[in-house]
């Protein structure tokens, strides 16, 4: 490791420590998130939903840092066979997250459901556009389990969960086409699980490289990114440049280039092995 890289690593470690301390010291307030739609629910239901959203925001910021702008969370009643049958983000203006929920389920079911962590993770990065939707969904899919693991609600290990989700879709990437083109085609054809978890593998590899080369993790890096760069970045090239600059390395630009230029079979294993 060069002296410059060592200095960057020290700065990154100190910043992560300071952000972590601030996370534990600050209570969640309206500065962190605002909820819209509670009037559609009975009082006890509204209180339960507020508790769930607060837990989700706390868990996410403990893993990915405090986002530079408040989260706008919208909730709507919807009867279903699961607590959160549908959720999505909108990126107009500062962005917002919309949850359709069935309050016949209790708080524990809501907290243990992956949906809120996935949607909140999306907001750690700017909107990547249709071309890179596979990468955006891959990031949120990868991070949902990181958040759940850190908050103690993940069933099984991280490795077991990634194995369960990624392994069935590796067959799509046993090809001479580029990984990015395959993932985009899967997304365009609405083969969402394959696109999401194929995209998540990008971040599995990024995390390995960060551990190996910089003795840090992707969640720590994203925590630092919120503080230094998130507010000023607007597209994927901005994000890649910011992450590489933090590290004084080319990990993310090199990896994205590989995904866009190399045969997918050279990047994906036939059997998942983390």
Q: What is the pLDDT of residues 172-182, one digit of tens each?
A: 999 999 999 99
Distance (Å, whole) CA 148 – CA 159? 13
User: For the segment 111-157, what is each residue's pLDDT rounded down to a tens digit?
Assistant: 999 999 999 999 999 999 999 999 999 999 999 999 999 999 999 99
> Does the residue 11 lie in any domain?
no
Residues 135 and 96 in one domain: no
Residues 160 and 249 in one domain: yes
Q: How many CB atoms lie within 10 A of CB 2?
A: 9
pLDDT of 268 > 90? The answer is yes
Cβ-based neighbours of 171, under 8 Å, separated by 6 or more: none
Q: What is the mean pLDDT of the chain?
A: 91
Confidence of residue 273 (pLDDT cuts 50, 70, 90): confident
Domain boundary pick from 92, 122, 152: 122
Domain boundary pick from 77, 94, 122: 122
Domain boundary pick from 89, 122, 155: 122
> Does the residue 197 lie in any domain?
yes
SS3 content of the chain, % helix, strand, coil (to 5): 65, 10, 30
Distance (Å, whole) CA 8 – CA 216? 11
Residues 83 and 162 in one domain: no
Name beta bridge partners: 149: none
7/83: higher pLDDT = 83
Burial string for 198-236 (b: 16+ CB within 10 Å, else e) reads bbbbbbbbbbebbeeebebebbbbbbbbbbbbbeebeeb
Segments forming the whole domain that contains residue 43: 26-122
Residues 88 and 145 in one domain: no
Judge whether 206 and 220 are in contact, CB under 8 Å. Answer: no
**65, burial (CB in 10 Å: exposed 0-12, middle 13-18, buried 19+):** buried
Residues 64 and 139 in one domain: no
Residues 66 and 168 in one domain: no
Distance (Å, whole) CA 27 – CA 41? 25
User: For the segment 148-181, what is each residue's pLDDT rounded down to a tens digit?
Assistant: 999 999 999 999 999 999 999 999 999 999 999 9
pLDDT of residue 32: 81
Distance (Å, whole) CA 253 – CA 96? 28
Beta strands 86-90 and 33-36 are: unpaired
> Does the residue 84 lie in any domain?
yes
Residues 161 and 183 in one domain: yes
Q: Based on the structure, what is the number of domains in the chain?
A: 2
pLDDT of 100 > 60? The answer is yes
């Amino acid at each position: 490791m060069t002296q410059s890289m060592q200095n960057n690593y020290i700065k990154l470690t100190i910043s992560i420590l300071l952000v972590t301390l601030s996370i534990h010291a600050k209570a969640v307030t309206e500065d962190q998130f605002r909820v819209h739609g509670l009037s559609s629910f009975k009082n006890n239901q509204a209180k339960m939903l507020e508790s769930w959203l607060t837990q989700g925001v706390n868990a996410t910021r403990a893993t990915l840092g405090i986002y530079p702008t408040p989260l706008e969370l919208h909730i709507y009643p919807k009867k279903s066979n699961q607590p959160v049958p549908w959720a999505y983000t909108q990126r107009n203006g500062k962005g917002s997250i919309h949850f359709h929920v069935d309050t016949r389920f209790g708080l524990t079911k809501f907290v243990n459901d992956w949906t809120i962590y996935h949607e909140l993770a999306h907001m750690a990065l700017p909107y990547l556009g249709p071309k890179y939707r596979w990468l955006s969904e891959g990031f949120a899919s990868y991070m949902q389990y990181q958040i759940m693991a850190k908050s103690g609600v993940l069933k099984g290990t991280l490795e077991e969960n990634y194995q369960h989700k990624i392994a069935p879709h590796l067959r799509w990437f046993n090809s001479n086409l580029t990984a990015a083109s395959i993932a985009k085609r899967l997304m365009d054809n609405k083969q969402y699980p394959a696109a999401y978890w194929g995209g998540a593998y990008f971040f599995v590899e990024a995390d390995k490289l960060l551990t190996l080369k910089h003795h840090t993790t992707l969640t720590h890096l994203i925590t630092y990114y919120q503080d230094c760069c998130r507010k000023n970045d607007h597209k994927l090239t901005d994000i890649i440049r910011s992450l590489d600059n933090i590290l004084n390395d080319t990990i993310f630009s090199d990896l994205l280039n590989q995904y866009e230029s190399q045969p997918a079979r050279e990047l994906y294993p036939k059997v998942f092995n983390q």
